[in-house]
Homo-oligomer: A and B are copies of this chain.
């Protein structure tokens, strides 16, 4: 099983990263840090005669790795009660992939498994629930299997490691993934 972790954070070693590492420790996987790629906001071409215009950026490289994965781990800090703008901008571009002629995006993504890992500071176990629901709609639309979400509480660097319930669930998932 090919596992890909997609990181939406703007920096390494943040709380969402630390929690994801607990899940992925010793698990064979590949990582994409969206911050290391230039991905442009979508320009909606669905209703243009000429469709979407080609974009000169790194989206293709990332989406190809996404399409190859069997299990995708979406890792994002809770920014303003949603996924990071970096991650949202990436997901928005899927609309372009859905119109792509070089591959059948929907067919390729269907059946993939998805996991969501979120960390944040302001009552995230309640206030990240709309984000969980959003991911659930996204995966449902793409025919992905939503295999679970994990919300860790932590504001200051490293604080998520004090969230025993989150760390335990991470360890539990780690066992299953190994």
Contact = CB atoms under 8 A, between A and B. Distances in A.
A130 B131 contact: yes
A73 interface: no
- Copies of this protein in the complex: 4
A94 B80 contact: yes
Interface residues of A, number: 53
A43 interface: yes
A44 B88 contact: no
A125 B89 CA distance: 23
Interface string A140-167: 0100001011000000110000001100
A126 B131 contact: no
Contacts of A88: 79-80, 82-85, 88-89
Contacts of A126: 132-133, 136, 146
Contact of A41 (B85, B133, B141): B85
A148 B165 CA distance: 10
A55 to B, nearest CB: 12
B169 A165 contact: yes
Contacts of A94: 80
A126 B133 CA distance: 7
A130 B129 CA distance: 8
A172 B162 CA distance: 12
Interface string A84-112: 11101111101100000000000000000
